[in-house]
Amino acid sequence: MRSFARYIFLFALTLASHNLVSAQTNLILPTPNHNLYEHPELFYMHTARSGGDAWKGGMYGFTRNARNTKGGVVYTRFHEGVDIAPTMRDGRGVPLDSVLAVDDGVVVHVNAVAGHSNYGKYIVVRHIWDGSPFYSLYAHLNETWVDSGTVVAQGTPLGRLGYTGAGINKGRAHLHFEIAMVVNGNFDKWYDDEYGDGNNRHGYLNGMNLAGLNVARLYERLRENPDLSIRQFIEEEHPFFYSVLIPRTSRLDLLARYPWLLKHSASALDQSWKISFDDSGLPIAVEPSQREVKEPTLDSIVDSPFSYNYVTKSRVSGSNGSGRLSGGGIRYMRLVAEEPDSATLAAMEGLFADAPIPEPDMATLPSEPSTPPPPIAEEDFAVASSTITKPTAGVEVAEEEVGTRGDEITSEVESEMADGKAEVLDTLDAEPERDPSWPSPPAEADAEKSKTATEESLLRGEWHIGGYEFVWKLSKKSLSTELMPIRLRVTSEDDDLDGVGVDNLIVSCPELSRYGIGSPQVTRISEIVWSVRLQVKNKKAFAARIRELNGKVFTLDLRIQADGIEGLSQVRVEVSVKS
């Protein structure tokens, strides 16, 4: 009897495990709102922009903050998921919709404290589709009903749709819903190396580490073809936008979860990894390359009449087929390239050729040395498929010609808005490349009482949310410093802003010149993070007053600009002179 009971238990366990590993991706919608297909204007929650198409701001993609540029109108804010409007409210206007798990899976993260994230209370569920993990995210909940580690079946209630988080009010209550891939399982190490501020409350499920899929389009395709695989969907609906080369001294943690991204294995002759991305930065292909690079380098990019800063989440600068990775782009590629932890690395044994790269067998080399291709900047390199059309999914997009270019990292903020060339067409209409790690303002009993961002309210703690005081350890051998991270974020009652960065930052401190220090140099690292570089330029003036500098405090004035509004804040820098 004991053996029979044990057999029944193992059989049930096998069935349960099978239910968590779906060969097909047959999903249900996460709320009672099923208007996605016939009446999308009733499915999506509108943004604050004017006009009859305000609901389109709740769609996936570059759907927010339109700007009029020389190349035409371009939407510059990327929305990683979809905002689903509620179908039921009580007499006070509080939404009543339950939020359901879209498929079988395991709850891997529950943020039950609204103030710990700009997404408010949110839940992440891991699903195994086609042998790989994908993550559904349910944000702005009023209530959470499950715990981390809970195994859920499709349709399991997870929580209540709501309006917790930064900048969202009761009138615009909605479910922010995503399906995403994890970029790097060793995210904590990358975060500590890059920021080291101890503010990552969400582990590897930090929003910076989640690359979202076009979730509405996924539902549409599954409705047309229930046998569609998630891999096939990504290949067909997330078109190439740019590729980056990274040194092949690293093994890609990404391939531990999504090995099908690798088009073919590496050989001893390959010097780098060529990783292809869509415009949002979703990795869509990996292949080895014989081109040698010392740091992440842009390899090719689709031609666009718009500043790449607008259409790549500020990860690439330039335009018209001529681009380079920005500081934020370099940082993101370092995340992609971060080595797996030891356990993951052991499980990946045999997936890669050994790295560092072994010396090639001279007998296998061609009789004449191969010549690497010239830099893209020196040639008009056309990709075979000259035109790519993006999937629409209700989002208006344009056909874009394909072109390529590579270049080194830029140290400037390059965008048309900095040159005064861009006109804001709709204000306060943004939800960004989100990062749930940034702290949000404490939740109030009624979010409708929160302040609207105005010229008077752009003060520390409102738009300037981090990086107020710094110490410059100055010596004759170290005549510069980088003040970072300075965190700037738009917060408004009228829009659902999960960490939207500001458009421009101007920093001044006339007093610096008296000590031989040059004007502050500003760099945009990402949507939210900025840095300010201070450097001694006049060594004679510096040497004459170096004794006065020890303990000196400089106040840097910040002019913060976003969507036609400007506000002021300050950063303090204390100088510590080393002998």
The answer, yes or no, to whether residue 211 has pLDDT greater than 50, is: yes
Looking only at the bridges linking them, the beta strands covering 469-474 and 464-466 are unpaired
Mean pLDDT across the stretch 130-138?
A: 96
Sign of CA dihedral 476, 477, 480, 485: negative
Q: What pLDDT sits at residue 491?
A: 53
Region of poorest pLDDT, from 239-253, 282-296, 336-350, 477-491: 336-350
Q: Look up residue 78 and give its two tokens.
A: 């990327």
Q: What pLDDT sits at residue 524?
A: 85
Task: State if pTM tops 0.75.
Answer: no
CB-based contact 498:165 (threshold 8 Å): yes
Q: What pLDDT sits at residue 416?
A: 34
The answer, yes or no, to whether residue 440 has pLDDT greater than 50, is: no
Helix ranges (DSSP H) in 404-503: none
Mean pLDDT across the stretch 400-413?
A: 28
Q: Count H helices, E strands: the chain? A: 11, 30
CB-based contact 249:267 (threshold 8 Å): no
- Cα dihedral 514→516→520→523 (10° resolution): -170
Q: What pLDDT sits at residue 339?
A: 85
The answer, yes or no, to whether residue 494 has pLDDT greater than 60, is: no
The answer, yes or no, to whether residue 466 has pLDDT greater than 80, is: yes
CA 148 to chain CA mean position, Å: 24
In terms of residues, how long is the chain? 579
Q: Give 337's pLDDT tier (boundaries 50, 70, 90).
A: very high
Q: What is the mean pLDDT of the chain?
A: 77
DSSP letter assigned to residue 149: T
Q: What pLDDT sits at residue 500?
A: 57
CB-based contact 409:132 (threshold 8 Å): no
Query: What b/e string do you get for 104-141 counting C-beta neighbours within 10 Å, with b at 16 or more?
Result: bbbbbbbbeebbbbbbbbbbbbbbbbbebbbbbbbbbb
- CA separation for the pair 519, 521 (Å, rounded): 6
The answer, yes or no, to whether residue 525 has pLDDT greater than 90, is: no
- CA separation for the pair 467, 460 (Å, rounded): 10
Q: What pLDDT sits at residue 422?
A: 37
The answer, yes or no, to whether residue 284 has pLDDT greater than 70, is: yes
Domains along the chain? 12-224 (2.70.70.10), 451-577 (2.60.40)
The answer, yes or no, to whether residue 417 has pLDDT greater than 50, is: no
Sole residue written with tokens 């991204």: 261
Q: Give 377's pLDDT tier (boundaries 50, 70, 90).
A: very low
pLDDT, tens digit, 9 for 90 and up, residues 151-206: 999 999 999 999 998 778 899 999 999 999 999 999 999 988 887 777 788 999 98
- CA separation for the pair 479, 512 (Å, rounded): 13
Mean pLDDT across the stretch 118-125?
A: 93
Q: Look up residue 143 and give its two tokens.
A: 């209530």
Q: Which residues contact 546 (CB under 8 A, 6 or more apart)?
A: 577
Letter for the amino acid at 419?
A: D
Q: What pLDDT sits at residue 118?
A: 82
Q: Give 70's pLDDT tier (boundaries 50, 70, 90).
A: confident
The answer, yes or no, to whether residue 372 has pLDDT greater than 60, is: no
Q: Look up residue 110 and give its two tokens.
A: 């529950």
First to last CA, the chain: 82
Mean pLDDT across the stretch 403-411?
A: 27
> Would you list the DSSP string of 71-90?
TEEEEEEEE-SEEEPPS-B-
The answer, yes or no, to whether residue 346 has pLDDT greater than 80, is: no
Mean pLDDT across the stretch 519-548?
A: 89
The answer, yes or no, to whether residue 573 has pLDDT greater than 60, is: yes
Q: Does residue 170 sit in helix, strand or coil?
A: helix
pLDDT, tens digit, 9 for 90 and up, residues 497-521: 344 567 789 999 999 999 999 999 9
The answer, yes or no, to whether residue 577 has pLDDT greater than 70, is: yes
The answer, yes or no, to whether residue 21 has pLDDT greater than 50, is: no
- CA separation for the pair 148, 550 (Å, rounded): 50
Burial class of 553 by CB neighbour count within 10 A (0 to 12, 13 to 18, 19+): exposed
Q: What is the number of other CB atoms lying within 10 angstroms of the CB of residue 181? A: 22
